[in-house]
Amino acid sequence: QVQLVESGGGLVQTGGSLRLSCAASIPTFSYYTMGWFRQAPGKERDFVASIGSESVYRVYTDSVKGRFTISKDNAKNTVYLQMSSLKPEDTAVYYCVAKSGGASRVENDYSYWGQGTQVTVSS
CA pair distance 81, 48, nearest whole angstrom = 10
One pLDDT digit (tens) per residue for the chain, 123 residues: 889 999 999 999 999 999 999 999 988 888 899 999 999 999 999 999 999 877 778 999 999 999 999 999 989 999 999 999 999 999 999 999 999 988 899 999 999 999 999 999 999
**pLDDT score for 42:** 94
Spatial neighbors of 60 by CB under 8 A, at least 6 apart, are 48, 49, 68, 70
Q: What is the DSSP string of 34-47?
A: EEEEEE-TTS-EEE
